[in-house]
């Protein structure tokens, strides 16, 4: 009879954490452990080997969603190909492409470590992960490669019931606190354009707005961060009072709020015509019709948003 192992033993031997193992099982079906009469997972040697291979492959820079369905032999070949890369690739004097690959590998590992910390509600581990990645990649790199993907992953796991509301709030608090204390890349220009960042009424998840604020500050914008769940009238009042160049809206969840389209239309009516409305987030595309109607600029990812911030920052504003 084959010896079976507990999830703690599987975690120790595979190099993963129990939280990551459970998340990968539920979301990607990477293994299907047996259950005891008390519903405890029991893993075979083969399943532990597979988890170990998946851990090594993700550490090499491959996304779990892209490799979850590969066979063990295919995973071994993938790992072998990475390990056999020329030694120069690992040299400190990396080429631009190799540096990008190294940063991606570090960021993927950091996302997994951060998810584990969130699953364990471990403040120190999550803060350490954020700080370490920021030191290695810079604030901008950490935003693009760790914090934004992590926020998406946490939101999806929460929506699928794999993380509790307590976990989601815990992650949001730590991430927002981390972003709020990051220094500017350069001295603030009092004449720099100002952005009001918020989530509209009914949108309760504020990490996206915090990310928008941090990225705008990184590109030299002045930012007024209002937080989550703001009525259109309040957002417009703040934008008018501060003579904002733009209003940045994070729209993450839900993606089917029947009241949000009217909120967006009201915001456009109340704002001066010269004030741009910028929108992004996991659920923003679900409101594309209303966003198009009010002339909002919809961004599919942070790279596109960063490009806009860079260009608009250097473009004289004419009202």
What local confidence, expressed as pLDDT, does residue 85 receive?
A: 52
In this model, does residue 319 exceed pLDDT 80? no
DSSP state of 92: S
Q: What is the pLDDT of residue 103?
A: 66
Backbone angles phi, psi at 230, to 5 degrees: -100, 130
CB 266 within 8 A of CB 248: no
pLDDT at 270: 98
Q: What percent of the chain has pLDDT above 70? A: 90
pLDDT tens-digit series, residues 168-213: 999 999 999 999 888 766 567 888 999 999 999 999 999 999 999 9
Q: Which whole number is the average pLDDT over 254-275?
A: 96
Output 158 or 230, whichever has higher pLDDT.
230
The whole-angstrom distance between residue 306's C-alpha and the CA centroid of its chain comes to 15
pLDDT (average), residues 244-268: 96
Indicate if the pLDDT at residue 94 is higher than 70.
Answer: no
Pairing of strands 222-230, 246-250: unpaired
**How far is Cα 300 from Cα 174, in angstroms, rounded to an integer?**
25
pLDDT at 99 over 70: no
Please give the pLDDT value at position 200. 97
pLDDT in tens, 140-152: 889 988 999 899 8
Half-sphere exposure of 231 (CA within 13 A, CB side): 3
Sign of the CA dihedral with 68 first, then 72, 77, and 80 last: positive
Least confident of 7-11, 15-19, 90-94: 90-94
How far apart are the two ends of the chain, measured CA to CA in Å? Answer: 78
* CA-to-CA separations, 67 to 15, 24, 37, 51, 61, in angstroms, rounded: 18, 11, 32, 12, 11
Work out whether the CA dihedral 40, 45, 46, 48 comes out positive or negative.
Answer: positive
pLDDT at 186: 59
Q: What is the reported pLDDT for 109? A: 85
Q: In the structure, what pLDDT confidence band is assigned to residue 84 with cuts at 50, 70 and 90?
A: low
Domains of the chain, earliest start first: 7-83 (1.10.1660.10), 96-180 (1.10.1240.10), 194-314 (3.40.50.280)
Q: Rounded mean pLDDT of the chain?
A: 88
- Predicted confidence (pLDDT) at residue 100 exceeds the cutoff of 70: no
Backbone angles phi, psi at 295, to 5 degrees: 75, 25
């Amino acid at each position: 009879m084959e010896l079976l192992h507990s999830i703690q033993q599987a975690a120790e031997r595979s190099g993963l954490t129990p939280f990551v193992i459970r998340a990968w099982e539920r979301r990607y079906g990477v293994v299907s452990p047996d259950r005891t009469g008390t519903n405890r997972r029991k893993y075979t040697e083969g399943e532990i080997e597979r988890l170990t291979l998946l851990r090594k492959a993700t550490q090499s820079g491959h996304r779990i969603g892209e490799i979850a369905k590969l066979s063990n032999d295919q995973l071994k070949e993938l790992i072998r190909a990475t390990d056999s890369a020329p030694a120069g690739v690992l040299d400190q004097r990396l080429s631009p492409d190799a540096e990008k690959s190294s940063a991606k590998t570090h960021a993927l590992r950091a996302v997994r470590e951060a998810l584990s910390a969130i699953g364990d509600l471990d403040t120190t581990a999550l803060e350490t992960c954020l700080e370490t990645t920021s030191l290695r990649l810079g604030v901008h790199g950490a935003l693009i490669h760790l914090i934004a993907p992590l926020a998406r992953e946490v939101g999806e796991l929460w929506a699928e019931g794999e993380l509790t509301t307590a976990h989601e709030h815990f992650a949001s608090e730590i991430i927002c606190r981390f972003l709020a204390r990051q220094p500017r890349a350069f001295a603030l220009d009092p004449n720099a354009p100002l952005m009001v960042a918020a989530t509209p009424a009914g949108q309760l998840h504020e990490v996206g707005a915090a990310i928008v604020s941090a990225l705008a500050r990184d590109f030299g914008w002045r930012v007024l961060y209002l937080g989550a769940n703001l009525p259109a009238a309040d957002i417009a009042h703040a934008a008018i009072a501060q003579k904002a160049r733009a209003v940045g809206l994070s729209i993450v969840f839900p993606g089917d709020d029947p009241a949000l389209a009217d909120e967006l239309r009201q915001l456009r009516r109340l704002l001066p015509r010269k004030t741009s409305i910028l929108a992004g987030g996991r659920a923003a595309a679900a409101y594309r019709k209303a966003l198009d109607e009010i002339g909002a600029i919809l961004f599919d990812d942070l790279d596109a948003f960063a490009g806009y911030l860079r260009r608009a920052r250097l473009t004289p504003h004419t009202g």
